[in-house]
Structure formats: C-alpha cells, structure tokens
Copies of this chain bind each other. A is one copy, B any other.
Amino acid sequence: MKADVCTARGRPREFCPDAALASALRVFWSKGYEGASMTDLTEAMGITRPSLYAAFGNKESLFRKALDLYEREKLDYISTALDEPTARAVAEALLRGALENQMAQDEPHGCLGVISSVACGAEAESIRAEVLERGKTAKSALIARFERAKAEGDIPAHVDVEGLTGYLFAIIQGMAVQAGAGVSREDLERLIETSLMVWPSN
C-alpha cells in the first residue's frame, strides 16, 4: 500500500493528459455527449483508443472530467459576477460573461451545460442528471445573492426574486441556444443591451 510517490515505473505516456482533456472538452462542447464519438475524441486528442481508456476510464468518466474542466475554467465568470456590488451589476457581469463564454473565438459556440441538458438519448440520462444538478446549485447561489440585494434595497420590493432568477437564467440559456444556432455576436450584444435596459430598478 505504501507506494513510492516519486517513482514513475513502467513506460512513460507520450501525451499530456491535461492537453488531451482540453481537446476532448472542445469536442463535447461542439457535438454534445452523444454526438461525440470515440473516433472524434481520439482523433482530436491525438491518442489511440486504449490510451484514452487507460487514462480516463470510459466515455462517461471522460465527459465528467471535461465538465469539471469546463466549470473550472470557462464558468468562473459566474462566481466572480456574484461579487459585484449591485444586483444590476451582477446581472450585467453574468450576461457579458456568458457572451464571452458562448462566443469566444477558437472555441465552440454555445454552452456545454445547455447542450448536455437538452440532448437526448437514453444513454445520456445520468449525464443529464449530473448537469442539471450542477445547474441547480448555480441557480441557488444566484437566488441567495438576489435575496441579499433585495434586503439591501437593491431590487424593488415588489419583485419576485425566484422569478427574477429564473428569468435571468432563461435569457442566458436562450443566448446559448442562439449562439449555437449561429446568431452573430452583434445580435447577442443587442440582446444583452435590451436585457439591461429593462432590468428592474427603483
């Protein structure tokens, strides 16, 4: 049980797992879980099938690791947005952060979470459940933030906070749908401007 921690025995691997995982993330991001075949993945990652299975388990395990990477590196704008001083600033940071995430150059358009929660087949059911679970925690955090804003008088008293959160989530998810559908960045910026224009204030 007490294994030497510094010795790497056996033949060393010839690829970087982090870089390979990043490539896999791009494939899942653009094609979805079921739409990404093992051939797509291995070709993008530059490794053979057995290497992939040895390093990442199976397809589902690889997807979860890619989802972790996605949350850590691409969805960090969400937690930073919650630190904005006003509810309006939180909403603006979320909308603009989502735009950058969904329309980044050299990255697939759209949102991996939305793609994975919409698609489809039977094998992806546990994947879907996990993605939905992660989305729920994000929504809870946003509700808590807006509750605080309401207590601070930052949101009008007559506003339903949970309704407002679901409303803002819907705009972001709708943006993801449109980004994946090929809508231009300029159009999404106008969408955001409109959202901010109608944002409830005192």
Contact = CB atoms under 8 A, between A and B. Distances in A.
Interface of A: 31-32, 34-35, 110, 114-115, 117-122, 124, 132, 135, 159-160, 162-164, 166-167, 169-178, 180-183, 187-188, 190-191, 193-195, 197-200
Given A115-B119, A132-B181, A160-B194, 5 more contacts: A34-B35, A35-B119, A164-B194, A167-B194, A170-B174
20 contacts: A34-B121, A35-B120, A117-B177, A117-B181, A118-B118, A118-B119, A118-B180, A119-B120, A120-B120, A132-B182, A160-B194, A163-B191, A163-B193, A166-B190, A167-B194, A167-B195, A170-B178, A170-B191, A173-B177, A173-B178
A158 to B, nearest CB: 8
Nearest to A32: B120
A29 to B, nearest CB: 11
A172 to B, nearest CB: 7
Contact of A173 (B164, B174, B188, B194): B174
Contacts of A178: 166, 169-170, 173
A164 B181 CA distance: 18
Q: Work out how many copies of this chain go into the complex.
A: 2
Contacts of A110: 118
Nearest to A121: B35
Contact of A166 (B159, B160, B187): B187
Nearest to A136: B181
